Amino acid sequence: MALILTFLGKDSTARTKVAIASAMNLARQGKRVLLAGDAQPALPILLGTTLTPEPQDIAPNLQAVQFQAAFLLERSWDEVKKLEAQYIRTPFLKEVYGQELAVLPGADTALALNAIREYDESGKYDAIVYDGTGDVTTLRMLGLPESISWYVRRFRQLFLNSDLGKTISESPLVQPLISTFFNVNWTTDNFAQPTNFATNILEKGKAALADPKRIAAFLVTSDDPIEVATARYLWGSAQQVGLTVGGTILTAATNASLSEQFAPLPISTVPDATTGQWQAMMDALPDFVAQAIQAPKPIEIDIHASQVRLFLPGFDKKQVKLTQYGPEVTVEAGDQRRNISLPPALSGKPVAGAKFQNGYLIISF
């Protein structure tokens, strides 16, 4: 299992430089590192080499890969067809070729996350540095296991309780029909089976995200007001998906004090770097894990006090919305919704009160 690091901020070239220097730094410490980027020209130009959709050595202990959605989609499609063949008696997807699949919005994100998961599980790397979009898209990507889990738990129960779901699981007429087309007995219990593999992946993804020693992000900013505002916005938004933000990396020395804007995060100032000249930036980078484990946790649940505390820096009370329409409590901020899955002791209880204090949203039950 690898440490997965990513960077958030407005200036994408600065982010990519910090990602490169970080990957080189970790490799220099003897860690086996994978530097992964999207299909954009910046990373290969700054590395001074062409990149491929398969990892290749670019320095001792350091490999680099460029995610290409079209390539990853092709590979995943074979898996989808295998699943289809397993569950459907007369599969028809086999007539569609991976090479012709168009890439839909969001697919690139999901495929990149899946690729990171596979590289993580391969055991070949101690650290994976992901140079992604560094914005809300990266956040939605890392929050995907949680979002999908919510859709699964919410809609599965509704379906099973519905007339359609009941008929499928109970009717002696519908069962044989389903068996004719699918290689499964679609009873309520069996209905869960095809999703077990997926559920397992989702649970692992959520556990990794909740562990700052496994997945952490760092903010990259200069003292430009728009960059600072964006970094603060992404900082708060990261908490919404449960991503730990370990610290701030300031890409240009400044007289302005930014410590108040990013408290309690430590700020590391790094000099600029150009192709081939990474040493000074590498030397100025912080110890990522040491900082990440010190950072405020995105969520803390205190059963004894019947409280949930959400760290939401960068937002004020007006920008945060709390609702309880469905079975869970929903927090809306940073253009994202977080449905909080409560432990049994608090589950189903109505919200008794909520207040905003020192960057924390404190919800009482």
Ranges within 15-74 binding a copy of itself (CB under 8 A): 38-42, 45-46, 68-70
Our finding on whether 13 is near a copy of itself (CB under 8 A) is yes
Residue 286 carries which side chain, given as an amino acid letter?
P
Taking the complex as a whole, how short is the minimal distance between the CB of residue 25 and a copy of itself, in angstroms? 22
- Number of continuous H segments (helices) and E segments (strands) in the chain: 13, 15
Number of Cβ atoms within 10 Å of the Cβ of 298: 21
Place of tokens 């490999």: 63
Site size toward a copy of itself, by CB under 8 A: 77
Report the distance separating Cα 8 and Cα 238, nearest Å.
Answer: 9
Range 221-250, binding a copy of itself (CB under 8 A): 225-226, 229-230, 232-233
Taking the complex as a whole, how short is the minimal distance between the CB of residue 356 and a copy of itself, in angstroms? 19
Our finding on whether 256 is near a copy of itself (CB under 8 A) is no
Number of Cβ atoms within 10 Å of the Cβ of 223: 16
Report the distance separating Cα 15 and Cα 221, nearest Å.
Answer: 8
Our finding on whether 206 is near a copy of itself (CB under 8 A) is no
Our finding on whether 14 is near a copy of itself (CB under 8 A) is no
| Residue pair 281/21 in contact by the 8 Å Cβ criterion | yes
Q: Residues 273-312: x/- map of binding to a copy of itself (CB under 8 A)? A: ----------------------------------------
Report the distance separating Cα 74 and Cα 274, nearest Å.
Answer: 35
Taking the complex as a whole, how short is the minimal distance between the CB of residue 30 and a copy of itself, in angstroms? 31
Q: Residues 88-107: x/- map of binding to a copy of itself (CB under 8 A)? A: xxx-xx-xxx-xxxxxxxxx
Q: Which is nearer to a copy of itself, 173 or 304 (CB)?
A: 173
- Which of 164, 280, 290, 305 touches a copy of itself by CB under 8 A? 164
User: Closest Cα to residue 177, out of 186, 165, 190, 188?
Assistant: 186
Q: Which is nearer to a copy of itself, 61 or 222 (CB)?
A: 222
DSSP labels for 94-107? GGS-GGGPPPPTTH
Our finding on whether 158 is near a copy of itself (CB under 8 A) is yes
- Residues of 101-130 as b/e, b for ≥16 C-beta within 10 angstroms? beeeeebbbbbbbbbbbebbeeeebbbbbb
- Which of 309, 328, 359, 363 touches a copy of itself by CB under 8 A? 328
Range 105-134, binding a copy of itself (CB under 8 A): 105-110, 133
